[in-house]
């Protein structure tokens, strides 16, 4: 619970700040009057991914500070010692290349889902525009981009409502069923089983005191 508390009280806020800064860098220069389309968002999302990775091979360098406290829990009781061992083992797992691949997959899947949701939002707005018959049809046919782009001021409220209200069950299901995640969890389970077997053997072979 102490680790969960660290994430919700500190880590999640720092993570949100990091992503927000990247989003501002990607989209902050766009004025509310400027017309944007799905391709503009795809470029922006790609920029955000590269910005938070800081050109590193890992998708989110330094992410451990979001999940785990920087110092060991102080104390000399058995419970504290066990907790510190668990924190150390958890840190070792999170620093593996396997977990970096899983984290990268989660970020990629999230960006893909977000891009799909934005595309759906644009399609819905175009359909609503066609039903209302708004705009000059001749101008629209002469400039096809006019039917695929909207002013940011008009787009933001629709995007916000669509993305906030959208259920993310499918996204979570995709992540939980990913073979990459299953493989990493199997490796972790096997490693812990081997550790327990080794401890049991060492305990049995220990000289009697």
Which of 176, 167, 53 is CA-nearest to residue 106?
A: 176
The strand pairing partners of 35, in sequence order, are 151
Return the pLDDT at 194.
67
Residue 99 tokens read as: 């977990």
Between CA 79 and CA 19, with CA 73 as vertex, the angle to 5 degrees is 125
pLDDT band of 39, cuts 50, 70, 90: very high
Using an 8 Å Cβ cutoff, are 151 and 33 in contact? yes
How many C-beta atoms lie closer than 10 Å to residue 130's C-beta? 13
CA distance 23 to 32: 15
Which of 42, 46, 69, 70 is CA-nearest to residue 59?
A: 46
Return the pLDDT at 130.
81
Where is 151: in which H helix or E strand?
A: strand 150-151
* Average pLDDT of span 144-172: 77
What percentage of the chain carries pLDDT values higher than 70? 80
Q: Write down the pTM of the prediction.
A: 0.74
Residue 123 tokens read as: 């399609």
The strand pairing partners of 150, in sequence order, are 36
What percentage of the chain carries pLDDT values higher than 90? 21
Return the pLDDT at 199.
53
Using an 8 Å Cβ cutoff, are 73 and 84 in contact? yes
CA distance 147 to 131: 13
DSSP H helical ranges for 54-178: 64-67, 78-94, 97-132, 137-142, 152-165, 169-176
Over the stretch 71-114, which tens digit does the pLDDT of each residue have?
666 777 787 788 788 788 888 888 888 888 898 898 998 898 88
CA distance 25 to 109: 22
């Amino acid at each position: 619970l102490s680790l969960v508390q660290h994430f919700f009280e500190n880590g999640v806020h720092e993570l949100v700040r990091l992503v927000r800064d990247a989003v501002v860098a990607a989209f902050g220069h766009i004025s509310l009057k400027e017309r944007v389309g799905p391709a503009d968002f795809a470029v922006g999302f790609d920029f955000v991914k590269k910005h938070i990775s800081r050109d590193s091979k890992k998708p989110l360098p330094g992410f451990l500070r979001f999940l785990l406290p920087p110092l060991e829990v102080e104390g000399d009781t058995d419970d504290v010692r066990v907790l510190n061992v668990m924190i150390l083992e958890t840190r070792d797992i999170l620093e593996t290349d396997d977990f970096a691949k899983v984290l990268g997959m989660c970020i990629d899947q999230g960006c893909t889902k977000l891009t799909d949701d934005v595309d759906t939002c644009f399609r819905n707005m175009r359909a609503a525009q066609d039903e209302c018959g708004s705009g000059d049809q001749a101008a629209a046919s002469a400039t096809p981009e006019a039917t695929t782009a909207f002013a940011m001021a008009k787009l933001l409220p629709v995007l916000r409502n669509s993305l906030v209200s959208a259920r993310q069950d499918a996204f979570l299901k995709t992540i939980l069923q990913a073979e990459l995640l299953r493989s990493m969890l199997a490796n972790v389970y096997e490693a812990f089983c081997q550790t327990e077997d080794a401890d049991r053997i060492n305990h049995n072979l220990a000289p009697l005191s």
